[in-house]
Amino acid sequence: MRPLTEDETKTVFEKLANYIGRNITHLINRPDDPHCFRLQKDRVYYVRESVMRFATSVGRPELMSLGICLGKFTKTGKFRLHITSLEFLAQYARYKIWIKPNGEMSYLYGNNVLKAHVGKMSDDIPEHSGVIVFAMNDIPMGFGVTAKSTADARRLAPTGIVAFRQSDIGEYLREEDTLFT
Amino acid sequence: MVRSKPKVGRKARMKQGPVPSLDEFYQGILDPRKTAQQKNNESESRKRKREDRGASVKSKREKAVFEKAKSDLFEEENVEEEQMVAGEDDFYEFGDEEEQFGIDEEEVEDDNENESDEVYDSEDENERGRAMFSDDEGDEDLLEAANQQGLANVFKGDSEDEDQAEGEDEFVNSDDDFEQGDEEDVEINVDSRVTNVLPSGQEIEAPSNVPPDIHISRTRIQEILNVLDDFNKYGEAGRSRSDYVAQLIADIANYYGYTEFLAGKLFELFSPREAIEFFEANEVPRPITIRTNTLKTRRRNLAQALVNRSVNLKPIGNWTKVGLQIFDSQVPIGATPEYLAGHYIIQAASSFLPVIALAPQENERVLDMAAAPGGKTTYISALMKNTGCVFANDASKARTKSLIANIHRLGCTNTVVCNYDAKQFPHVIGGFDRVLLDAPCSGTGVIAKDPSVKTSRNEKDFIDLPFLQKQLLLAAIDSVDANSKTGGYIVYSTCSVTVDENEAVVDYALRKRSDVKLVQTGLEFGVPGFTSFRGKEFNQKLSLTRRYYPHTYNVDGFFVAKFKKMKVAEQKPNGTSKA
């Protein structure tokens, strides 16, 4: 377990900024409850500082997880967000799409968001920007990138793709073997 | 020709409606004995329900009409006629159907005429049809039924003779003995029944090469229970109580599929009747229960959301505010959007108990020594409202996967997951406010969930596991900070009901560590732990521990003990003043 290097921090923050924009400051500046980012075996964890200090007693081979895992660095040095980061992304999301109950299961099985399933969406989403997908009752279900801007999406056919899925909570079942080390 | 005919007949039978016409119905009433018999035979011979129904109705009608027309039409019929009749058969099937829809009487009578014309034939066809399908299993059933009926008749007829002739043999042949015992159970003289309960020496030796019959065991279990209820009155002279108990354990092992060793081990925990209740309860699955994740939702909202997905549920009981019991569900309960969003976790009701006993407080540091798959860890985290710190340890790396998955899904941010052998614990990090040790155990409380326990556990397990459990419990006690302002508690729990893994372990810890004492678990229900067991005397405080059995509370078998670690500085003056 170690703090992120300058480069790694930059990569992670760039990725996060896709989804939560300037709200990223809310993750970093929490004077009442300081949190920090830590790297452990290519995974990045976001954890309360007090918890992190206790975790220093645990040896590197034995430490499996601490706090919440945001994602992992790939072998090529890119950073990939995991579904486990959804809680923070949803909290500070910049762009949102809500999908209707009839589209929930389709999305949870790993499909893209179709126009027919969109219940509502933020007004000013540009093309190819990160969005958080919610159910109509505001349960966060995953995240992805828009295929069309909001304006274009309005003119789309019902079967047209509004957003490409990147991750969904169905992965807790589908990817259980690979997602958690 | 003959080959094709049954096919027609069968098809026709399929088509035929189940409701007979009025005439046929009356004729059926006139000759109820015959039709009933025919019906029985028929119904046994056909497997599929629909076909079965059609066939019996048809045969009933045919039989009845056949009686009427037997006299005229006893001549042999040629092939063309048969064929034609087969066609007609098809025709009046439709007629039949129309009858059901209320076609007027004339037509009905016509139909009947038709029928009487070719009754013989259709009957004949029926007979042949049966022969054709002789490789159907149904026919074997029929044969079997007939055989049994025959046997029963013979038995009835000869029973008196046999009784007299083989009066002596009866006691040797246990089969006969118990079949008759079943029938005569109500009127049997108490004394004579009792003499039959235990098999003689011959019987015990004889069946060693044949698998023992479970029905005999079942009957004998009941008989022995009756005897043990009042041994002085019912016990056979020359037989000791332990003879009966040994036979009872052997029968339990045989009937429920346990090894004799394990059956004996579990049997000695209860009175004989209660033991049977326990073994019976192990055959029935416990209800599916879920725990609301209070970090993300409230129980009322969750219940509403699940009811909307047509899940039938209700709260588990008054003792928990977060548990829901699932009765039935149209959707898989482990894959709803609410589940994936971490609003609940599927968790046995019994595993709420150690966490309730632990009662973690906010801003404490808690250790869960054997955490996977994380049901208890996430409950601790939820009770602490994600404050403080929870160390979740598990010795198996593979099992930490599901632990991490559950921790993340339920949004527990205050956890550290590590993969140590829990025995190392005070050396890794100590000074915890509370420690939960849900120790690895033989699983004798969860046989309903995992029946492999019945046969896989042997004597060695009940030496090795308590040995490990004792080490772990000492490690747990040593990991606690006695000077903690809010805590200083250790909870020891197992999903086993044996004394070796529970009271004996707790008693050992009390002897080895003088700075801990047992305290009330804070659980509303449960049976007090044993303070003495089969000659072993335990610490009297063990009555503060709690046991749970599947047959008393419909939760998994479970054991919970709660310790308080006392401050060393304070202990001395206390100890001296008391002494």
pLDDT per residue rounded down to tens, chain B (579 residues): 444 444 444 444 444 444 444 455 455 444 545 444 554 554 444 444 444 444 444 455 555 545 554 444 444 444 444 444 444 444 444 444 444 444 444 444 444 444 444 444 444 444 443 434 434 444 445 445 555 555 555 444 444 444 444 444 444 444 444 444 444 444 444 444 445 567 665 555 444 566 667 888 888 898 899 888 888 888 888 888 888 899 999 999 999 999 999 999 999 999 999 999 999 999 999 999 999 999 999 999 999 999 999 999 999 989 999 999 999 999 999 999 999 999 999 999 999 999 999 999 999 999 999 998 999 999 999 999 999 999 999 999 999 999 999 999 999 999 999 999 999 998 999 999 999 999 999 999 999 999 999 999 999 999 999 999 999 999 999 999 999 999 899 999 999 999 999 999 999 999 999 999 999 999 989 999 999 998 899 999 999 999 999 999 999 999 999 999 998 765 444 444 443
Q: Where is B128: in which H helix or E strand?
A: helix B119-132
A177 at the B interface (CB within 8 A)? yes
Same domain, A120 and A146: yes
3-state SS, residue B344: strand
In a domain, A50, yes or no: yes
Same domain, A17 and A83: yes
- CB distance B533 to B423 below 8 Å: no
**For residues B322 and B412, what is the distance between their CA atoms, to the nearest angstrom?**
16
Q: Residue B80: its pLDDT value, please? A: 45
Report the gap between the CA of B220 and the closest CA in chain A (Å): 48
Tell me whether strands B546-548 and B489-494 are parallel, antiparallel or unpaired: unpaired
Largest CA distance in chain A: 57
> Which amino acid is present at A39?
L
Q: Residue B217: its pLDDT value, please? A: 87
The whole domain housing A138 covers 95-174
B414, A67: Cβ pair inside 8 Å?
Answer: yes
Residue ranges of chain B whose CB lies within 8 Å of a chain A CB: 305, 334-335, 337-338, 340-341, 343, 365, 389, 391, 397, 400-405, 407-409, 411, 413-420, 428-429
- CB distance B448 to B424 below 8 Å: no
Q: Where are the domains of chain B?
A: 4-133, 288-346, 349-578
Give chain A positions within 8 Å (CB) of B415. 51, 65-67
DSSP 8-class letter at A147: S
**For residues B95 and B173, what is the distance between their CA atoms, to the nearest angstrom?**
59
How far apart, in Å, do the first and last CA atoms of chain A sit?
15
**For residues B62 and B43, what is the distance between their CA atoms, to the nearest angstrom?**
15
Identify the domain boundary among A42, A70, A88. Answer: A88
Report the gap between the CA of A57 and the closest CA in chain B (Å): 6
A50 at the B interface (CB within 8 A)? yes
Q: Residue B321: its pLDDT value, please? A: 93
A176, B401: Cβ pair inside 8 Å?
Answer: yes
| Identity of the residue in A58, A68, A105 whose CB atom sits nearest the CB atom of B408 | A68
A139, B400: Cβ pair inside 8 Å?
Answer: no
Q: Residue A108: its pLDDT value, please? A: 95
Domain holding A39: CATH number? 3.10.450.220
Q: Residue B131: its pLDDT value, please? A: 37
In a domain, A32, yes or no: yes
| Identity of the residue in B341, B389, B428 whose CB atom sits nearest the CB atom of A139 | B341
| Identity of the residue in A55, A137, A172 whose CB atom sits nearest the CB atom of B405 | A172
What would the CATH number be for the domain defined by B288-346?
3.30.70.1170
The runs of H, that is alpha helices, within B185-271 are 190-197, 201-205, 214-229, 231-234, 241-256, 260-267
Give the residue among B290, B265, B319, B312 at the shortest CA–CA distance from B553. Answer: B319
**For residues B298 and B288, what is the distance between their CA atoms, to the nearest angstrom?**
19
**For residues A172 and B27, what is the distance between their CA atoms, to the nearest angstrom?**
67
Largest CA distance in chain B: 114
Determine the residue among B304, B333, B340 to mutate to test chain A binding: the one whose Cβ has the most chain A Cβ atoms within 10 Å: B340
Same domain, A81 and A132: no
B405, A179: Cβ pair inside 8 Å?
Answer: yes
Same domain, A24 and A78: yes
Domain holding A111: CATH number? 2.30.130.10
Dump strand ranges (E) for B298-350.
Answer: 311-315, 323-329, 344-346
**For residues B239 and B197, what is the distance between their CA atoms, to the nearest angstrom?**
11
Same domain, A17 and A63: yes
Which residues of B participate in catalysis according to the annotation?
495
Give Cα separations from A73 to A55, A59, B240, B478, B565 (angstroms): 21, 21, 73, 39, 44
Give the residue among B451, B457, B404 at the shortest CA–CA distance from B285. Answer: B451
In a domain, A179, yes or no: no
- In terms of CA atoms, which chain A residue is nearest residue B367? A54
Report the gap between the CA of A58 and the closest CA in chain B (Å): 6
Same domain, A102 and A69: no
Q: Residue A89: its pLDDT value, please? A: 93
Same domain, A74 and A116: no
**For residues B520 and B546, what is the distance between their CA atoms, to the nearest angstrom?**
9
- CB distance B288 to B333 below 8 Å: yes
Count Cα neighbours of B267 within 13 Å in the Cβ-side half-sphere: 22
Give the residue among B435, B438, B519, B505 at the shortest CA–CA distance from B477. Answer: B435
What would the CATH number be for the domain defined by B349-578?
3.40.50.150
Same domain, A84 and A10: yes
Same domain, A79 and A111: no
- CB distance B367 to B435 below 8 Å: yes
Bond preceding residue B32 cis, omega within 30 of 0: no
Same domain, A58 and A117: no
Give chain B positions within 8 Å (CB) of A37. none
3-state SS, residue B392: strand
Tell me whether strands B323-329 and B311-315 are parallel, antiparallel or unpaired: antiparallel
Instruction: Provide CB contacts within 8 A for B343, sequence distance 6+.
Output: A139, B292, B293, B296, B297, B302, B305
Same domain, A14 and A67: yes
Number of domains in chain A: 2
- In terms of CA atoms, which chain A residue is nearest residue B418? A63
Quote the pTM value. 0.72
Residue B315: both structure tokens together? 């709260």
Q: Residue A177: its pLDDT value, please? A: 84
Counting one residue from A and one from B, how many pairs have CB atoms under 8 Å apart?
99
Tell me whether strands B311-315 and A43-48 are parallel, antiparallel or unpaired: unpaired
A181, B409: Cβ pair inside 8 Å?
Answer: no
Residue at token pair 């047959």: B551
Identify the domain boundary among A88, A118, A149. Answer: A88
Identify the domain boundary among A67, A88, A109. Answer: A88
Instruction: Provide CB contacts within 8 A for A58, sequence distance 6+.
Output: B416, B418, B420, B428, B429
Quick one: three-class SS letters along A121-144? ECCCCCCCCEEEEEECCCCEEEEE
- CB distance B532 to B543 below 8 Å: no
For chain A, 181 residues long, give each residue's pLDDT as a single digit of tens. Answer: 899 999 999 999 999 999 999 999 999 998 889 999 999 999 999 999 999 999 999 999 999 999 999 999 999 999 999 999 999 999 999 999 999 999 999 999 999 999 999 999 999 999 999 999 999 999 999 999 999 999 999 999 999 999 999 999 999 999 888 888 6
Query: Would the CA dihedral through B426, B429, B432, B437 be positive or negative?
Result: negative
